[in-house]
Structures are given as C-alpha cells and as structure tokens.
Chain A
Amino acid sequence: MTFVDDRAVITGIGQSQIGRRIGRTGIDLALEASERAVEHAGLSFDDIDGVASYPGPVNAEGGFVGATTHDVRDAFGLKTRWHVSGVETSGQIGTLLDAAAAVASGRATHVLCFRSVWEATAQASGRAAALTGKMARASGHSEFRLPFGAASPANWIGMYAQRYMHEFGLTREQIGKLVINGRRNAGLNPNAIYRDPMTMDDYLGARLISWPLGLYDCDVPCDGATAIIVSRREASTGLNNSPLAIEAAGASLAERHTWDQRADLTTMASHDAADSMWETTKLTPGDVDFATLYDGFSYLTTQWIEALGFCEHGKVGQFLDEEDRYRLDGELPINPHGGQLSAGRLHGYGFLHEACVQLWREGGDRQIAKDVEIAAVGIGGGPEAGCMLLRREG
C-alpha cells in the first residue's frame, strides 16, 4: 500500500510576514502567503482549482481562524472544482492529506492549502474571549474540563507529560535540551520570533504554567500565514521546483477523541498516525534525514520522536541526552527553524513549510549541511495527529 499511489506532490510554498502584533488581519496574511506560494511554484491563480484550509469557519475567538477557504476564493476570484476545510481532521495538516487525495483522484489539479493566524494582534486588541467572560457555560469539548479549572492545553498536556515522567523518568532538563535546541536554530532563522540564545538556567528558571510545563514549554502566539501548493504529479512538470513527493502519510485515530480516556496515557494519537504512515511506505525511520515535529508544547515533540520510531517507547529521555544527534549538523536534525516555541505558532503548517524549505535547500543560514532527501513531518498532539514523509526527487 502506498499513500494515494504517489500521485500527489508539493510544488510550491509561501509564508507571509510573521510577527508579534503586526496589526494585520488574518485574511491579509493568508493572501500574502498564497500569492507567494503560487508564484514560488511557477503557477498563476488561474491554475488553482482547489483550496484547502484548517480549521475553516469554526466559531473561535482570538485570531485562531485567520481566513476561510471562501475568503481566499472570493478575494482572488478563484474558480475551484474542489475545496475543503475542517476542524475535525487529523492534526492541522489533515486537510492537506485530503488535498493530496483530491488531486490523486482527479478532483483538482493544483490545490492551494493554507493556515492563517493573527492571534497576537487579535489578543492585543482585546478580541480574545476571556475564559471567564463571554462563554456563560462550558459546552462541547470543554464541558468536562473547564468546570475543574482545566482551562488550557497546558493543563491537559501537562497531565500526559507528568504521567510519562512518572513511568519512564523523563526529566525537565531533558525536555529543556530539546527546547534549547529549537532556540539555537531559531537564532539562524530571520523570521523567528525569539532568537536570543537560551540557557538551561533560563529554561528551568522560567515561571511554571502547569507542572511539569513552564513558560518555555508553551509556544508563542503570533501573526502569520503559511501556504502550500499540492499538485497532481502529472501537472508538476515544467514548474519552478522539482516536486516533493508525499511519500507516505498517516492520519489514524485508534481511540475516542478525548484528552483523558486513552488506554495508555504515555502515548497519544501521534502513535496511531505514525503507525499508519509507516504502513504506506517501504522506508523506515532510519531513512529519515531530518524531522519537523509539532511543539505547540514541548512534550508533544517528545511524543513524535517516539511515535515515528526515532527511539523506543519510554526512551526519549536518553534520546534527548544525545544533543549532538538532533542539532543542525547531527544525524537527525529536529526543527531547523526553531519550531513554534521560538519561531511562532503558525499552527502546524509551519513545520510542513520548513520541511519543504530544507528539501529545496532554501534554508539560508539554517540550511542543514548534509544532503537531505527524506523529511518526516509530525503535526498535532493529544487526540489529533497527522504525519507525512516527504521525498525530494532530483
């Protein structure tokens, strides 16, 4: 079995201005990223016949939904044959896997996929719903958490992290090494939000948010948009870039969609998604040249490292102790751009973007020195996860 018969490829990427409180709307940022991606691919908007986005027009406050597929379609007058968005998907890149399936099955030829956020500006302008304010009652997925003071993903993920640490002896210092690695890489990324070096004392000394997670275990809200063009393989010749194959992908969720009922609290949906991804390829974890792994919270990255098979379950602490292994010049560089903890919460798509940057050798100062051909991308955490293997051809 292969993922969509290897018929979907990535042909272009684009990112908007990224920053804290830059005072631009989410739609404006989405359009900027989209224009850059279409241009980067060597396409025109007349070629775009599909649009995909996360999360779509859901009722969310605080700049979480920068733009919908219709916003972008309407702004550019796109005539599309297919579009999709949705929050009920496998990690933030779930709709991107749908886009790959759409081009593979002939429903579209070139799909513009994007994610736009303007959380920093929205929150600064007071548009974030205070948790105790607008919402009179906790409903939906919040019904069984907010009444107990479990307000933030930091709380829900903190519980997972605590149980893992209890079972396997993972320490805050070991997680800190991963965070510091990301910050070191961000220092080479001109678009990163936080670029100053971080020491272990900085990390351990920062205020606690929800034990064992401290301030630097939590990503940074920002404004920015990312766009990716997914094309049918046959339509990718003659464009600007040699296409990046979507070698494999995984989107499985094997258990209930909750944050607290998973049978094994030391795993997450990342494990389900990764298992199903490896079923669609002959490649193995040892073939991966580098990885971009979601770090909305630092602990989620440790889950991806294990889920994707870069170390045995229960051994991520030992993996993290071998810092040389995952530095930019190491055997398996992780998050060359700095991840969301340092480069900003572009919310999933940023990791896919960085994987493409590196495979196309457009990384500038942060370009991985060795030749890279295979990238692993893992997005999401808790009950929502999706992952991909990208392969450079030529």
Chain B
Amino acid sequence: MSNQSGRMLPEVTAESRDFWTGGFEDELRIYRCRACRGWIHPPVGACWRCHSRDVGPEVASGTGKVAAYTVNHHQWFPAFPPPYVIAAVELDDQPDVRLTTCLVECDVDAVEVGMAVEVVFDKQDDVALPFFRPVTK
C-alpha cells in the first residue's frame, strides 16, 4: 500500500511538482508556454506547439468539461471501490488540453460528454490530487 488512504500516489518530479502540490493553495497549476501562451499537459520541458523552452506552471481556471469518460466496475485499488468514474476533462482554458482524472460527488449514471466540472483537491500526504466534480450552480 502506498499510503494510509490506499491511493496510488504519484512520484513527484521537478516538472510535475506544481501540478501535484498546487492544490494545497487551491490552485490548479498547469504548464504553459510563455511564448505562445498555449497550455501543456502532462508537463514537459518544451512547447510542442512553438518549440519554446520557456515553459512553466501557471494557475488555470480549474473548470472544464467532460470530453470522455468510463465507468470503472473492476476493483483495482482499495481506495477506489467500484463503480467510479474516470474522465478526460478538457480545460476551459484550452479545450484541447485534457486531464485524466477521477470524477467525484456525482451520480455515475448521470455523467455525459460536455458536462461542466470543477476541480476539487484530494489531499493525501505530500500531494493534492486534482479530482473534478460536477458544477452544480
């Protein structure tokens, strides 16, 4: 078991540190190119669009839409009792940038493509996992 929660936590790297810890300040930090202003995820040391190496984390809106999802029915992890929803969430900041994430606080049968979601951080040990939940307002 990786920790008390039964989560499989990420190995934090120099490039991913801000992504995994921004949630402690309630910030969703995503890599962004300072030259062309395109967002980049997963974080990598150059901009695949314009090839600038001037890239680094910035605070994203934390809102997005479900681009695709799957309802997992198989028990893989103690901390994730099935059924649970895994989704590719496209960021409102730039829809072709997506996070694979877990949808929480939702009815697994009511999820649909295009559903508006917002980040909610699941804090475990030294990381804050950016999960998403439906926007209810």
Contacts and interface: CB of A to CB of B under 8 A. Distances in A.
A151 interface: yes
B43 to A, nearest CB: 9
Interface size band for A: 35 or more
B73 interface: yes
A137 B73 contact: no
A159 B9 CA distance: 22
Contact of A147 (B68, B70, B129): B129
Nearest to A146: B8
Interface string A126-150: 0000011101111100011111111
Contacts of A132: 1-2, 6, 8, 76-78
A25 interface: no
A132 B76 CA distance: 8
B8 A138 contact: yes
B73 A207 contact: yes
B24 interface: no
A154 B42 CA distance: 20
A133 B8 CA distance: 9
Contacts of B10: 137-139, 143-144, 146-147
A150 B74 contact: no
Contacts of B63: none
B9 A137 contact: yes
A145 B11 contact: no
A365 to B, nearest CB: 35
A159 B76 contact: no
Contact of A131 (B48, B69, B77, B101): B77
A265 interface: yes
B106 interface: no
A145 B80 CA distance: 13
Interface size band for B: 35 or more
Given A137-B10, A149-B86, A149-B102, A209 B73 contact: yes
Nearest to A131: B76
B51 interface: no
A154 B74 contact: yes
B71 A261 contact: no
B52 interface: no
Interface in B101-137: 101-102, 112-113, 127, 129, 131
A258 interface: yes
Contact of A144 (B42, B69, B96, B112): B42
Contact of A261 (B98, B127, B131): B98
A344 interface: no
B60 interface: no
A154 B86 CA distance: 11
B10 to A, nearest CB: 5
Contacts of B2: 132, 135-137
Contact of A149 (B9, B41, B84): B84
A155 interface: yes
A158 B70 contact: yes
Interface stretch (A160-168, A178-186, A354-362): A160-168
Given A160-B68, A163-B67, A261-B97, A147 B73 contact: no
Interface in A201-239: 207-213
B6 A148 contact: no
A210 B68 contact: no
A158 B71 CA distance: 8
A325 interface: no
B91 to A, nearest CB: 11
Interface of A: 131-133, 135-139, 143-152, 154-156, 158-163, 166, 207-213, 256, 258-261, 263, 265
24 contacts: A132-B2, A132-B6, A132-B76, A132-B78, A137-B2, A137-B10, A138-B8, A143-B10, A144-B10, A147-B8, A148-B86, A150-B86, A150-B100, A154-B70, A158-B72, A160-B68, A161-B70, A162-B70, A208-B73, A209-B74, A211-B72, A259-B100, A260-B99, A261-B97
